[in-house]
Amino acid sequence: MSMFKSTSIITTAGLLLLGLITTCKQSDPPTTRNRIIRDSGDFVFSGYGWNIKSSITPVGPGPNYFNGSDSMVWVDKDGLLHLRIAYINGKWQSSEVICTENMGYGTYVFCLESNVANINERIVLGLFTWDDNSFKEQANSEVDIEFSKWFKASDSLTLTYSVQPVIFDNPIAYSERSFKPQMQVAKLKQPSTHVFNWQADEITWNSYTGAVYPGGNPIASWNFNLNNPVRTKIEGGRVSNPIIIPAPGATTRARMNLWLLNGLPPSDGKPFEVVVRSFEYIP
């Protein structure tokens, strides 16, 4: 099934939204751009090296067990990346991959092959940036595209755009930092492309039908700029510096994960899989 044999790394991850409290530390067809892979990590996907997150105890987000085996994360013969949630060895396990390349301001393009309209209400697909080393200065440099119903089975609006911090250990959510767009949900049942452009003075998100960027029919969009209030991230007894738009840190990288809210099993008791067609970072 797999085109590579993964090696495991033990990291931790933190992604929290809409009231979820977790531990903060996180540990395809090729694109049209020619790339030199500096560090291939555990595998190569879409012209970038990636490492696979693995944990033998529950860690954030969730917390979850993250399984680094090639039955949970693999690239198929067509170059498509597969991420799974599955019940293995008596426990539900999730998956996460971390790009080996440090990144910064620019455009992040994620093309999905899968239907993400009907995701189970306890599952989250995250497409995001993170930096283990920038908590104090930049609240971990986190910008998010997420697909989830956030425990609400009847919720049809599965797409959320966010710039962290949103809540973590803060007493109330900073509602202006997260957005669930109104949209034609049926457009998420086909291949779709999801993009954010991260700059010092604004972040702009766009989603399109199809697997080409730019192109396709618009699904949703959002803009967040410096007109918003200053906020701090509070987590695990630590408090970040006040920020509006976080800046990239020296070790900010793109990540993709598929995980369970509060580590709870899918309500239908079924495994779940997402297929990613491609990823591209344009500085």
In this structure, what CATH number is given to the domain that contains residue 169? 2.60.120.200
Range of the domain at 48: 9-282
Task: State the pairing for strand pair 65-66/73-75.
Answer: unpaired
**pTM, full prediction:** 0.88
In a domain, residue 134? The reply is: yes
* 57-77: pLDDT as tens digits: 999 999 999 999 999 999 999
In a domain, residue 3? The reply is: no
- Contact 26/14 with Cβ under 8 angstroms? yes
Collapsed DSSP state (helix, strand, coil) of residue 247: coil
- What is the pLDDT, as a whole number, of residue 98? 98
How confident is residue 215, by pLDDT bands cut at 50, 70 and 90?
Answer: confident
Instruction: With a cut of 50, say whether residue 18 has pLDDT above it.
Output: no
- The tokens for 1 are 């099934």
What does residue 82 show for φ and ψ, rounded to 5 degrees?
-110, 130
In a domain, residue 1? The reply is: no
In a domain, residue 172? The reply is: yes
Cα(152)–Cα(11) distance, rounded to whole angstroms?
30
- Span 147-165, mean pLDDT? 97
How confident is residue 15, by pLDDT bands cut at 50, 70 and 90?
Answer: very low
Instruction: With a cut of 90, say whether residue 95 has pLDDT above it.
Output: yes
Most distant CA pair in the chain: distance in Å? 49
- The tokens for 249 are 């840190």
Instruction: With a cut of 80, say whether residue 229 has pLDDT above it.
Output: yes
Count structural domains, the chain.
Answer: 1
In a domain, residue 179? The reply is: yes
How confident is residue 221, by pLDDT bands cut at 50, 70 and 90?
Answer: very high
Radius of gyration of the chain (CA): 17
Instruction: With a cut of 70, say whether residue 226 has pLDDT above it.
Output: yes
Instruction: With a cut of 60, say whether residue 274 has pLDDT above it.
Output: yes
